[in-house]
């Protein structure tokens, strides 16, 4: 059994260490490695380890201590796995596991050390140091976004969605007025109406592009996401997941992030070209220069390097935050449409 424990232990350590590295670097594949590693740890290695200890020491107190230690370890590591994978139930398992460890497991273990003639102080200190390391892990883990922060992101996004509905309604009304308005010349009228329609089409295309990215993000986070999750993000269970937004948008070489930036730059350029083509009045030219979705930012990495726009916006941002950012881009597109149509119709 000891040889099997050595082999399984190495396999478990390898998977968990490599999976943790992938998780820290936000590389794909971290989840499966951690799930397999922690599953083997809690379901195979830990039971075999404590069975071996019970075989070596058959006293009643030792067996009780090992049984509680087995339950505690399985509970904590399964809770960690559920937390890492953003599955429900991880928190209660960790809390129950820690409570079981504090009392009765650790208390009975100390009593056992006092009762035994040959006290294994080397093992005792290993248990203490191991506990401190695990506690440090939980302290670092606790620094991840809290539910209050995630709720704030969702409240911001919900407010932005309401603003978007109002802006779309206002824009439709503005387009209707533009088409009903009498202009001095038929050629001017046709040109203005055509420009208004083009502005609307390009803004809708930009809005739709971002909406598709939001749906892709939700689909990757929630593999079984239903229509309710798509329409109401409060139903998402993995709002604190930072890996997928980083992989999709936050990497310097992220295809989705780069594509989004290219779409925004192209949208800004085309809107300005449409407005300049109608020969705007002098007071409108300054407005046109500043019109569009904002892609300016002032941020530096730890190495004092300037990150890409999508890295600055989405790197290590939780899902709730990424959704709020994407919705704000849609808001800016609708607001740009409103301002652009206003400039066209007043010239």
- Domain range annotation of the chain: 2-141, 147-346
CB 12, CB 45: distance < 8 Å = yes
Supply the pLDDT for residue 331.
96
- Give, rounded to a whole angstrom, the gap between the first and last alpha carbons of the chain: 86
Per-residue pLDDT, 41: 86
DSSP string, 1-47: -HHHHHHHHHHHHHHHHHHHHHHHTT-TTHHHHHHHHHHHIIIIIHH
State residue 205's pLDDT score.
96
> DSSP readout, 295-330?
-------TTSPPPPHHHHHHTT--HHHHHHHHHHHH
Is 250:315 a contact under the CB 8 Å cutoff? yes
What is the four-CA torsion angle of 43, 44, 48, 51, rounded to 10 degrees? 20
Burial of 185 per CB tally in 10 Å (0-12, 13-18, 19+): exposed
Looking at residue 203, what DSSP letter applies? H
- Give per-residue burial for 26-65: e unless 16+ CB within 10 Å, then b: beeebbebbbbbbebbbebbbebbbeeebeeeeeeebeeb
Please provide residue 173's backbone torsions phi and psi, each rounded to the nearest 5 degrees.
-65, -40
How is the chain split among helix, strand and coil, in percent rounded to 5?
80, 0, 20
pLDDT at 57: 79
- Closest by CA position to 346, among listed 102, 174, 221, 96: 174
- What's 145's DSSP letter? P
> Mean pLDDT of successive 10-residue segments in the chain (347 residues)?
81 86 75 86 87 82 86 86 75 85 82 68 66 64 67 90 94 88 68 90 96 90 61 72 87 89 95 84 75 82 71 89 94 95 82
The predicted structure's pLDDT at residue 208: 96
pTM over 0.75: no
| pLDDT at residue number 92 | 85
Q: Specify the 3-state DSSP secondary structure of 146.
A: coil
């Amino acid at each position: 059994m000891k040889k099997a424990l050595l082999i399984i232990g190495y396999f478990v350590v390898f998977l968990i260490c490599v999976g943790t590295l992938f998780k820290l670097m936000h590389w794909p594949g971290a989840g499966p490695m951690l799930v397999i590693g922690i599953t083997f740890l809690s379901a195979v290695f830990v039971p075999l380890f404590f069975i071996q200890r019970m075989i070596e020491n058959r006293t009643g107190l030792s067996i009780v201590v090992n049984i509680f230690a087995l339950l505690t370890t399985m509970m904590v590591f399964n809770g960690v796995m559920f937390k890492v994978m953003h599955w429900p139930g991880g928190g209660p398992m960790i809390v129950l596991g820690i409570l079981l460890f504090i009392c009765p497991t650790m208390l009975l273990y100390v009593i056992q050390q006092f009762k035994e003639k040959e006290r294994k102080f080397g093992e005792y200190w290993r248990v203490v140091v191991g506990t401190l390391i695990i506690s440090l892990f939980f302290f670092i883990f606790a620094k991840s976004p809290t539910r209050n922060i995630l709720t704030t992101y969702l409240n911001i996004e919900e407010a932005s969605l309401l603003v978007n509905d109002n802006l779309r309604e206002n824009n439709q009304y503005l387009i209707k007025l533009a088409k009903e308005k009498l202009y001095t010349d038929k050629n001017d009228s046709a040109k203005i109406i055509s420009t208004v329609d083009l502005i609307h089409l390009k803004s809708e295309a930009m809005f739709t592009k971002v909406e598709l990215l939001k749906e892709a993000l939700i689909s990757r986070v929630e593999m079984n996401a239903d229509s309710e999750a798509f329409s109401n993000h409060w139903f998402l269970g993995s709002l604190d997941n930072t890996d997928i937004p980083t992989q999709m948008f936050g990497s310097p070489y992220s295809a989705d992030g780069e594509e989004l930036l290219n779409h925004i730059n192209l949208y800004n350029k085309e809107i300005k070209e449409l407005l300049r083509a109608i020969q705007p009045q002098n007071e409108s030219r300054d407005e046109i220069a500043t019109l569009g979705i904002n892609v300016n930012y002032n941020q530096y990495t730890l190495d004092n390097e300037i990150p890409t726009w999508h890295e600055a916006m989405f790197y290590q941002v939780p899902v709730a935050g990424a959704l709020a950012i994407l919705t704000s881009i849609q808001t800016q597109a609708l607001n740009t449409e409103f301002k652009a149509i206003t400039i066209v119709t007043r010239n």
